[in-house]
């Protein structure tokens, strides 16, 4: 059986310009690699109205439990202006001990490291005492509608059991080994529209300026103290991300005003409890100002925490041995696909250093890539003792 080199495999994966939701053939290539290792594979393409179809991959070797699953994504964000790069983002290059290319950091190299670790593990094991699986999506950087969420629903219908899941997101802020993610905050986005009455600025009594109402509301929203945080989570926080008043004239009071905000909330709240609190504010202030309002919410995920178990601590100890750093168990950062997978299985996130993800000249240290493969390999050794 072939042993795959993590660097060569990462290079091959990066060469596919798989910008969400375009697959560009990368899923088929990974399927071929996993089949060569003895995995049974299935490419799952999901479609939903108003969203582009997305290809995903579930692969498994072994017929019995426990099932250790690695999850990740092969889609990448656009490279931006290619002229700003020192290399072609889809023609990976090595410079000063780093592999440069779009997806090198987030997160094709991590997938390559786990495939390499799996190939090493399977080559030295006469018998696999359980199962190893891959849950790979092409919709993590996009809408996340036809990706992991739908794969999880598919696996639940098939009664597929996963006992523990390792998500390979780049979790480390500065050095490999600093951080394991054991949970994430929830994310709620709101788009608020205030409707007033348009009029001449010289006759304000004949109009109702929606900008006054929306400023009062946003001020109250920003002054909300949701909580003081918990031992596992930082305090919940609201940020206003857009304010828009479509008005081309300086002597006209506008008829409407819009604002968008996002709240990252911990597990003291649910999206529904926050919506109820905000709706009271909208109703109170717009009512006093004789304005009407419309609110549209989008929930990217609820807050969740995976209680650390023996597997968590085993992984933490392996990382410490190899990197000489004891990783912090953290819930910081944005959302990840573990928010969907947790419905099937406990899990955690650990991958590369995330400093250059989504940036021009996205890169991974060759030394880190080698160490990550070693960490993943040791995790498999210890999990299937």
Q: Which residues are catalytic?
A: 75, 140
Buried (b) or exposed (e) across 185-215, using 16+ Cβ within 10 A?
A: bbbbebbbbbbbebbeeeeeeebbbbbbbbb
373: Cβ contacts below 8 Å, ≥ 6 apart: 6, 113, 116, 117, 120
> What 3-state DSSP class applies to 32?
helix
> What 3-state DSSP class applies to 131?
strand
Q: Counting beta carbons within 10 angstroms of the beta carbon of residue 168, is it exposed (0 to 12), middle (13 to 18) or buried (19 or more)? A: buried
Among 78, 102, 117, 58, residue whose Cα is nearest residue 350: 117
């Amino acid at each position: 059986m072939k042993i795959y080199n993590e660097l060569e495999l990462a290079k091959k994966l990066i060469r596919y310009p798989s910008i969400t939701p375009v697959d560009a053939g990368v899923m088929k290539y990974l399927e071929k690699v996993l089949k060569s290792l003895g995995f049974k594979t299935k490419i799952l393409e999901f479609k939903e109205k108003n969203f582009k179809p997305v290809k995903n991959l579930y692969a498994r070797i072994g017929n019995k439990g426990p099932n250790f699953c690695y999850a990740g994504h092969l889609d990448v964000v656009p490279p931006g202006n290619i002229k700003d790069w020192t290399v072609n983002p889809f023609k990976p290059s090595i410079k000063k001990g780093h592999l440069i290319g779009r997806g090198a950091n987030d997160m094709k190299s991590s997938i390559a490291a786990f495939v390499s670790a799996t190939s090493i593990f399977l080559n030295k094991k006469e018998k696999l005492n359980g199962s190893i699986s891959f849950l790979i999506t092409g919709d993590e950087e996009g809408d996340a509608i036809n990706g992991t969420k739908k794969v999880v629903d598919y696996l639940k219908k098939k009664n597929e059991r996963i006992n523990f899941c390792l998500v390979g997101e780049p979790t480390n802020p500065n050095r490999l080994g600093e951080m394991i993610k054991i949970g994430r905050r929830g994310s709620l986005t709101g788009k608020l529209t205030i409707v007033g009455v348009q009029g001449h600025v010289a006759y304000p009594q004949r109009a109702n300026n929606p900008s006054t109402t929306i400023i009062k509301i946003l001020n109250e929203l920003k002054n909300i103290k949701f909580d003081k945080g918990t031992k596992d989570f930082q305090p919940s926080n609201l940020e206003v991300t857009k304010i828009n008043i479509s008005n081309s004239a300086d002597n006209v009071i506008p008829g409407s005003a819009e604002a968008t905000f996002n709240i990252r909330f911990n597990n003291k709240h649910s999206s529904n409890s926050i919506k109820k609190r905000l709706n009271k504010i909208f109703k109170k202030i717009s009512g006093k100002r004789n304005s009407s309002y419309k609110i549209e919410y989008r929930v990217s995920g609820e807050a969740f925490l995976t209680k650390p178990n023996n597997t968590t601590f085993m992984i933490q100890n392996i990382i410490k041995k190899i990197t000489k750093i004891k990783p912090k168990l953290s819930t910081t950062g944005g959302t990840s696909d573990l928010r969907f997978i947790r419905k099937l299985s406990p899990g955690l996130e650990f991958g590369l250093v995330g400093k250059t993800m989504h940036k021009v000249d996205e890169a991974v240290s060759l030394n880190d890539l080698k160490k990550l493969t070693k960490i993943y390999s040791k995790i498999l050794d210890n999990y299937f003792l």
